[in-house]
Structure 1
């Protein structure tokens, strides 16, 4: 009996020791996972997570405001004026009403003033000027904002902002009929944007510079048309259509080039071709809400019908221009002829009431344009042209005193180049080290992929262990079948697919997958695409947008940021290193 009791206590003690070891091991794993989870949460800023929820919505989509209001409120509370400016900028973009856009523009200027950051002030004043110009066609108010931005831009290092403002000043000059001067500004913008597009840029930067390039080219085409430079105009139109291509990002710009092509065809009396292109350009111009260009489109459709001796159809479009004028109280100088045509048509039909009405409309249009020109012309010469000439004069006067300074600057420039080279070398070294670590992680993951089993931690809350095991097996199957690359996958949707509820699934993922659902999904997607880039060289040829879609991520910016946060290296840098390695005979 004694022997049996002794053996029982020996076995019990051994079991206790084993349980203690397992408990300690589980506790260590749990602490490690928790530490990694809380560390990862620091990488995802609250601003980033809020903006991520709405940044991919279309322009003028008010659904963004359910998240954007929280973004703005947080920035206000924390007095983070840089984020507050961004929030108000997003407010302009997603507001569907012009008056709301203007309110957000005012708030943007206010936040920029509080920041005392000159670049933010340039951005705020340009954006407010764009609202006045683009949405209201209030050139007087727009010019005031552009000149304010010009004052701040004199000492900025941000060339993009400087040329963006020059572009808008060029638009005002073009409206006033100073086409030679405007063409010089647009040509300078084209040189700048084209030069930037040849450099290695982030996709978002490429998008902004390409937009600037295409818009400058369109405005230059308008100048060429009014200057009678039709050969240069046709060459620029062909260039614009080629550069815009079929990209969804540049549908509006392509519409402008097709409109210009239709106008060119009208000038050559190819009326049927002109009508075809003018009608093709209509949808994109309507969608852009650019009522000034829409009026131009209607005008040349009407003129083309007149050229084909179809006066009845032409009058329909000339009257559309009058409707736009009544709504917005704005008309371009080149469309003044619209009312002359309508007046003559009324005379021909002996309709005195309409003749009187259109005469009154012409007088009103002349009055509005007269006020614009009497204000804009002296102001742009005094506050922009004269100041620019004086600045150039001062520069020339100082040239005799700058020889020594130039030598010093050259030395500083050389030192700067050395520092830049050193910085780039350091960055290249860091990228290489991060790539090696990522490669080692990939090899390690490949070696242990078959050995991996879900770890069942101690029960927490009211989760039943058998149900947890079952759900973890389902998750493992979900991962094996690459279910995570589904587009638009949400917690609720995955819960339905796994036959459970979202609350239960969320708790299991938080306890066993090292983070919340979004972090878990992002990790799976980025790991998946990283493995593909390692294993199959064809993926190295894909652009960032295609790679993002391949792993279920909708936004290229979101993909790039997540790739960097999880892998510690930008996808473009990773692809370069991988291709270099393969060129050098690596696996």
Structure 2
């Protein structure tokens, strides 16, 4: 409530001070909104002149008491602000005033703009929150264009979070139903092309290179027909990336280089960063180390960690750290290892929706170990004192102990993996509940034979139909669906399955997922979180814990070993 009051106060304050500071120039008095907007567009490269036109637009809206135009002006003003705080204040003003505007684009438009602000800051949680507000508002006003835009951007965030299957499902079901282009003019065609570009990217990230190239060819064909928009070179870039994944590195370099003069003009620098990164990676594969270094440095020179959290930047740091490591240049290697650590620290702190498991358990510890190794080596070069030698020896001994411990655990995990696979292959038929039925087992005497047999039959059907895959199953609801009560159900499960209902459900799910992971290669590509949701667990942590409790290994290790057998 306090934050809402503060937001309203700030918006009111900005409104009042804006009016006190700005007076419409005589030359602009009497101009229509359409004329002023055209002036804004034509003066877009002159920020001073642009702000004069937008403030005139805003003042005219206030004089006319037109909430639609006022909200629209605040949205325009936000685009030309350098300070994040001021940009967000203008967007909040547009949202607040837009809620009272009788127009199909408000307040969905300013919510979408605010989502875009957070998206470019890589704060996907806030971006998603505002996209959902935008979607809800667009659905209320039945604004199909904004509904499509919100859903497309939600799919893009899912892709950024690594949820490629979910992103592609959203693309297929909602956004690619109507493949017709240009029905509502050029703007409709441009939006469609941006969507085709995103679909191609997701296919590429999923390893479906041929499908990605199919959409790229479609995008190239259509983009040639659109004047004034240079989307053609975006598609050429994406096909260059696909050539890289096909291991055709010379063709990848040739395709990507052709796009550089055009991509460098874009305001969104992520395109040119992506081009430089894949040029570096392709040259690295061809062992052209100096060329690879040159392009990695171009990526590095274009972004600061505090301002640009693109993962392209992280890959460049890693590439440069490896380059200097191969050169034996420990000082420069340390510079880029420190940049890696700084990137990961900020990324982990600010973007908690991202899957931090890999960073926490592998990449960050690996980078820290690399940093400590470099520092130790540099110190050893400066001095060979007995104390330093002793310390280094102790560190080596500890490292050796850690390696021994690691490989010992790996042998244990490998043995458990083999046992689990063999057990699954030998289990041809899952024993039904009836095979475990023994009358008058301890604990079941209080239940009539009819009730007991009915529950056992229901449990057998429950297993056969894989009812255990549904999320949020509890004893009360399950017993009700069986036509019984939770007390009787718990007694039967405890007696005949010799485990609690929770353990019974978890064991059924783990048995199912072990078999499916072995037989379904596509399922193995899911994230741990996606697999957990697929089989009824509420969280990835709960799934991993249940899997390890039953099998003695973690699901990530099991999947990795299965993939290694291909």
Q: TM-score range by the shorter chain?
A: 0.5 to 0.7
Q: 1:316 — aligned with what?
A: 294
Q: Call closer, same or farther: CA 1:377–1:85 in 2, change over 3 Å.
A: farther
For 1:47 and 1:116, the matched residues in 2 are separated by: 17
Q: Call closer, same or farther: CA 1:373–1:51 in 2, change over 3 Å.
A: closer
How far residue 325 of structure 1 moved from its aligned partner, in angstroms, is 4.0
For 2:81 and 2:308, the matched residues in 1 are separated by: 21
* Aligned residue among 154, 164, 170 for 1:185: 170
Asked whether the equivalents of residues 44 and 50 of structure 2 are also in contact (C-alpha less than 8 Å), the reply is: no
Q: 2:340 — aligned with what?
A: 362
Q: Call closer, same or farther: CA 1:367–1:282 in 2, change over 3 Å.
A: same
Q: How do residues 532-547 of structure 1 correspond to structure 2 at under 5 angstroms?
A: none
Asked whether the equivalents of residues 292 and 331 of structure 1 are also in contact (C-alpha less than 8 Å), the reply is: no
Q: 2:97 — aligned with what?
A: 111
Q: Call closer, same or farther: CA 1:71–1:333 in 2, change over 3 Å.
A: closer
Asked whether the equivalents of residues 318 and 342 of structure 1 are also in contact (C-alpha less than 8 Å), the reply is: yes
Deviates more, 1:152-161 or 1:255-264: 152-161
For 2:219 and 2:83, the matched residues in 1 are separated by: 29
Q: Call closer, same or farther: CA 1:256–1:49 in 2, change over 3 Å.
A: closer
Asked whether the equivalents of residues 111 and 134 of structure 2 are also in contact (C-alpha less than 8 Å), the reply is: yes
Which string of whole-angstrom CA distances, capped at 9 and with x for unpartnered residues, describes residues 46-105 of structure 1? 323433444445577553333322111110232211112222334355x38474755543
How far residue 133 of structure 1 moved from its aligned partner, in angstroms, is 2.0
Q: 2:200 — aligned with what?
A: 221
* Aligned residue among 278, 288, 309 for 1:300: 278
Q: Call closer, same or farther: CA 1:283–1:146 in 2, change over 3 Å.
A: farther
SS in 1 for 2:247: coil
Q: How do residues 417-566 of structure 1 correspond to structure 2 at under 5 angstroms?
A: none
1:144 aligns with 2:122: no
For 2:41 and 2:348, the matched residues in 1 are separated by: 42
SS in 1 for 2:328: coil
SS in 2 for 1:194: coil
How far residue 340 of structure 1 moved from its aligned partner, in angstroms, is 2.8
Q: 1:208 — aligned with what?
A: 187
Asked whether the equivalents of residues 68 and 101 of structure 2 are also in contact (C-alpha less than 8 Å), the reply is: yes
Q: Call closer, same or farther: CA 1:265–1:90 in 2, change over 3 Å.
A: same
Q: How do residues 155-170 of structure 1 correspond to structure 2 at under 5 angstroms?
A: 155-170=140-155
How far residue 334 of structure 1 moved from its aligned partner, in angstroms, is 6.6
TM-score, structure 2 as length reference: 0.52
How far residue 341 of structure 1 moved from its aligned partner, in angstroms, is 2.2
Q: Call closer, same or farther: CA 1:49–1:365 in 2, change over 3 Å.
A: closer
Whichever of the two has the greater Rg, that structure is 1
Asked whether the equivalents of residues 330 and 365 of structure 1 are also in contact (C-alpha less than 8 Å), the reply is: no
* Aligned residue among 118, 126, 133 for 1:132: 118
Q: 2:268 — aligned with what?
A: 290
How far residue 236 of structure 1 moved from its aligned partner, in angstroms, is 0.9
Asked whether the equivalents of residues 271 and 305 of structure 1 are also in contact (C-alpha less than 8 Å), the reply is: yes
Asked whether the equivalents of residues 182 and 189 of structure 2 are also in contact (C-alpha less than 8 Å), the reply is: no
For 2:353 and 2:278, the matched residues in 1 are separated by: 29
The answer for unaligned runs of 5 or more in structure 1 is 1-43, 379-388, 391-587
Asked whether the equivalents of residues 343 and 354 of structure 1 are also in contact (C-alpha less than 8 Å), the reply is: yes
How far residue 261 of structure 1 moved from its aligned partner, in angstroms, is 1.2
Asked whether the equivalents of residues 331 and 365 of structure 1 are also in contact (C-alpha less than 8 Å), the reply is: yes
Which string of whole-angstrom CA distances, capped at 9 and with x for unpartnered residues, describes residues 234-275 of structure 1? 111111111111634321x22321110111122233333322
Asked whether the equivalents of residues 123 and 351 of structure 2 are also in contact (C-alpha less than 8 Å), the reply is: no
**Cα RMSD (Å):** 3.1
How far residue 322 of structure 1 moved from its aligned partner, in angstroms, is 2.7
Q: Call closer, same or farther: CA 1:198–1:319 in 2, change over 3 Å.
A: closer
More helix by share: 1
For 1:285 and 1:106, the matched residues in 2 are separated by: 32
Q: 1:86 — aligned with what?
A: 72
Q: 2:528 — aligned with what?
A: none
How far residue 342 of structure 1 moved from its aligned partner, in angstroms, is 1.8
Q: Call closer, same or farther: CA 1:342–1:328 in 2, change over 3 Å.
A: same
SS in 1 for 2:179: helix
Asked whether the equivalents of residues 333 and 369 of structure 1 are also in contact (C-alpha less than 8 Å), the reply is: no
SS in 1 for 2:352: helix
Q: 1:345 — aligned with what?
A: 323
How far residue 125 of structure 1 moved from its aligned partner, in angstroms, is 0.4
Asked whether the equivalents of residues 135 and 146 of structure 2 are also in contact (C-alpha less than 8 Å), the reply is: no
TM-score, structure 1 as length reference: 0.51
Asked whether the equivalents of residues 68 and 91 of structure 1 are also in contact (C-alpha less than 8 Å), the reply is: yes
Higher relative contact order, structure no. (Cα contacts within 8 Å, ≥ 6 residues apart): 1
Q: 1:46 — aligned with what?
A: 32
How far residue 218 of structure 1 moved from its aligned partner, in angstroms, is 1.0
